[in-house]
Amino acid sequence: MRSARANRDTNKQAVDQRHKWLFSQVADYCQLGPEVVEDQLLDSDFTHFDNFFKDKGTRVLLILQTQEQEGKDKKGPLKLVATNGEDVPLCGSCVYFFRLTNEKELTDKTIIERVHFGAVEATDGDILSAVRTTLDHLIVPMLMKNTNWGKLTQEGVKNPHVANFILGIEDFSKLLESAKSNLSESAPCSVKLIMPDDLPIKGITTPQQYQTTAGNFDLVTQLEGIVAGWCKQIEQVLTQSEQMRKEADDTGPNSELVYWKERMASFNALLDQIKSQ
């Protein structure tokens, strides 16, 4: 097995102008020197860079700046790591690079023209808020000021097709907020279905075991009480959701569609909890 030092030496020898261009963009965003960025990324898996550069390779490369966990309640210094988004969780700053087509290998000359990049801040791993912030404060304002819509340029954002496109992005942003709310235990319309840990029902798999358990009057009574409590919790959540809908100022087909999408997300969250119990 190769040592970490040997891997760093191999990665350092592989660095070319393409890598250095990527490093410089990361350095600008993270306010670090390019040499610092390179030094930290030498510990990363350089196959992510190779797969991003080659023809028919991946179209996305992420550079994350996260804090490594050094103990139960202690975090280490900020560290840069390269990933394709599958092997490292997004938590902290992320500089993303992507190319619209991967039909040709990226070279020192073409990487500047073919690679686009940007950044998101996923504090504490809150990727939903990070994406929504990017949409609300960058993508939508940029589209509203865009003057080149091809055949639709004459009317611009007043064209119904353009307006619906932008409205769709805004509705998607609202759904991200709804999804975040459903995942939060403190959300107004969220509910946590609790199953006591001391119930003797774990490990029941056979019909005989189910039949025996069903004959335990005290246990069945306790389970019925738990389920009745769940029903009251769910009913309260749905009542709150309906009340919020009645009190909403905006009405119309799009608002109705967003409402039912949010409600479906709530149902799915409840269903997932019930299945996991």
- For the stretch 91-102, pLDDT in tens is 888 999 999 889
Question: Is it the case that residue 200 has pLDDT exceeding 80?
Answer: no
User: In this predicted structure, what is the pLDDT of residue 156?
Assistant: 77
Higher pLDDT, 180 or 184: 180
Question: Is it the case that residue 176 has pLDDT exceeding 80?
Answer: yes
What digits encode the pLDDT tens for the residues 41-57?
A: 999 999 999 999 999 99
User: In this predicted structure, what is the pLDDT of residue 21?
Assistant: 96
Contact between residue 89 and residue 115 where contact means Cβ atoms under 8 Å apart: no
Contact between residue 156 and residue 149 where contact means Cβ atoms under 8 Å apart: yes
Report the range of poorest mean pLDDT among 57-61, 116-120, 231-235. 231-235
The fraction of the chain above a pLDDT of 90, given in percent, is: 33
Given the structure tokens 């025996």, which residue do they identify?
212
Gap between the Cα atoms of 216 and 57, Å rounded: 60
pTM beyond cutoff 0.75: no
Extract long-range pairs of 233-237: CB within 8 Å, 24+ residues apart: 233/191, 233/193, 234/191, 234/270, 236/191, 237/189, 237/190, 237/191, 237/266, 237/270
User: In this predicted structure, what is the pLDDT of residue 74?
Assistant: 62
Let me know how many helices (H) and strands (E) the chain has, helices first.
11, 4
Question: Angle at CA 157, nearest 5°, toward 151 and 163?
Answer: 100
Question: Is it the case that residue 186 has pLDDT exceeding 60?
Answer: no
Residue 63 structure tokens: 């550079």
Report how far apart the first and last C-alpha atoms of the chain are (Å, whole number): 43
User: In this predicted structure, what is the pLDDT of residue 171?
Assistant: 85
Report the chain's C-alpha Rg in angstroms: 26
User: In this predicted structure, what is the pLDDT of residue 78?
Assistant: 86
* 274 three-class SS: helix
For the segment 70-82, the average pLDDT, to the nearest whole number, is 76
DSSP 135: I
pLDDT band at 190 (very low <50, low <70, confident <90, very high): low
Pick from 18, 86, 13: which is nearest to 53 by CA? 18
Q: Which range has highest mean pLDDT (2-6, 70-74, 112-116)?
A: 112-116
Given the structure tokens 């805004």, which residue do they identify?
170
User: In this predicted structure, what is the pLDDT of residue 206?
Assistant: 83
For the segment 185-195, the average pLDDT, to the nearest whole number, is 62
User: In this predicted structure, what is the pLDDT of residue 40?
Assistant: 94
Gap between the Cα atoms of 269 and 221, Å rounded: 26
The shares of helix, strand and coil residues in the chain, as percent rounded to the nearest 5, are: 55, 15, 30
Question: Is it the case that residue 185 has pLDDT exceeding 80?
Answer: no
Question: Is it the case that residue 269 has pLDDT exceeding 60?
Answer: yes
Strand partners, 75: 69
User: In this predicted structure, what is the pLDDT of residue 151?
Assistant: 84
